[in-house]
């Protein structure tokens, strides 16, 4: 994802329309409340809010200034800092866990894993999370989706444009990962998202290919979609997929 700022409405739609994460995501690695957690690519703070309610210190790295403004506004107490997964602005061995939600596919896997291993304390956890499309919206939104068909990108999942295909990082097959991390655990969690019609329109508005349309095309499209969504609420049947592991507790630092 580019770190150039998107139009303002995109950030609002992202926060309003995109799904959050089940609470179990935060529990899997059995971290102590006194833990320091680092979140990479924190976005508007969807997972960050859960982390700050659970851990003593949360550092959220996010390269996009528009996302960081929302992080600051919506996550009191978080340390929101500019940076990337490939260049984490922290010292060695300072965090107990690293969380990444819906973003690992944007990273240079090998460089990011080496950075994650550098900042984690030995035995520290790495938790990587995605929401994956897992069925159709209920009730049907075919009448509204039909309006999007002419601009729907060929390579995007239908009807929900999320990670419906190859979502898993190839990072774990890298020699560095095999040396540095324990065996990967994988967990799948149901994560239904209930939204009203405006929330559903925001979800589609959070797709770059809608958000970047000129206003004179986007606004009538969004208005027409809204008028075809007549139910009080809609359920989007996400599945949250989590891969998590720990940094090996070896002697001395890893050769990188």
Ligand X SMILES: C[S@@+](CC[C@H](N)C(=O)[O-])C[C@H]1O[C@@H](n2cnc3c(N)ncnc32)[C@H](O)[C@@H]1O
**What residue ranges bind ligand X (CB under 6 A)?**
1, 3, 18, 40-43, 46-47, 62-64, 67, 84-86, 101-103, 106-107
Nearer to ligand X, 27 or 146 (CB): 27
> What is the Cα–Cα distance from 80 to 61, expressed in whole angstroms?
6
Least distance to ligand X from the beta carbon of 87, Å?
8
> What is the Cα–Cα distance from 111 to 117, expressed in whole angstroms?
10
Least distance to ligand X from the beta carbon of 103, Å?
4
Nearer to ligand X, 155 or 216 (CB): 155
Nearer to ligand X, 65 or 123 (CB): 65
- Give 202-206 contacts, CB < 8 A, sequence gap 24+: 202/12, 202/13, 202/16, 202/17, 203/13, 203/16, 203/17, 203/18, 203/236, 204/17, 204/148, 204/161, 205/9, 205/10, 205/13, 205/17, 206/10, 206/13, 206/14, 206/16, 206/17, 206/18
- Assigned token pair, 196: 């009203």
Nearer to ligand X, 2 or 232 (CB): 2
Q: Which residue is nearest to ligand X (CB)?
A: 43
Least distance to ligand X from the beta carbon of 201, Å?
18
Least distance to ligand X from the beta carbon of 129, Å?
7
Least distance to ligand X from the beta carbon of 11, Å?
10
Nearer to ligand X, 48 or 245 (CB): 48
Nearer to ligand X, 67 or 127 (CB): 67
Q: Is the peptide bond before 90 cis (omega within 30 degrees of 0)?
A: no
Least distance to ligand X from the beta carbon of 123, Å?
24
* Helix residue spans in 58-189 (DSSP H): 65-74, 109-119, 142-148, 175-180
The SS3 assignment for 253 reads: coil
């Amino acid at each position: 994802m580019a770190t150039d700022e998107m139009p303002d409405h995109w950030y609002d739609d992202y926060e309003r329309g995109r799904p959050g994460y089940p609470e179990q995501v935060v529990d899997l690695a059995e971290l102590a409340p006194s833990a320091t957690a680092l979140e990479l690519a924190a976005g508007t703070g969807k997972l960050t809010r859960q982390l700050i309610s659970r851990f003593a210190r949360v550092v959220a790295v996010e390269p996009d200034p528009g996302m960081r403004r929302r992080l600051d506004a919506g996550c009191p107490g978080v340390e929101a800092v500019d940076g990337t997964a490939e260049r984490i602005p922290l010292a060695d061995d300072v965090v107990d866990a690293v969380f990444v939600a819906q973003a690992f596919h944007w990273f240079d896997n090998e460089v990011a894993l080496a950075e994650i291993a550098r900042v984690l304390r030995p035995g520290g956890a790495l938790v990587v999370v995605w929401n994956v499309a897992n069925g159709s919206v209920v009730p049907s939104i075919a009448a509204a989706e039909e309006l999007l068909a002419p601009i729907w990108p060929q390579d995007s999942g239908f009807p929900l444009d999320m990670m419906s295909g190859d979502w898993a990082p190839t990072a774990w097959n890298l020699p560095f990962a095999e040396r540095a991390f324990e065996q990967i655990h994988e967990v799948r969690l149901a994560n239904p998202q209930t939204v009203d019609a405006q929330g559903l329109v925001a979800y589609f508005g959070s797709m770059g290919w809608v958000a970047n349309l000129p206003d004179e095309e986007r606004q009538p499209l969004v208005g027409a979609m809204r008028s075809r969504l007549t139910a009080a609420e809609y359920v989007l049947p996400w599945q949250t997929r989590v891969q998590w592991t720990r940094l090996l507790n070896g002697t001395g630092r890893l050769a990188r």
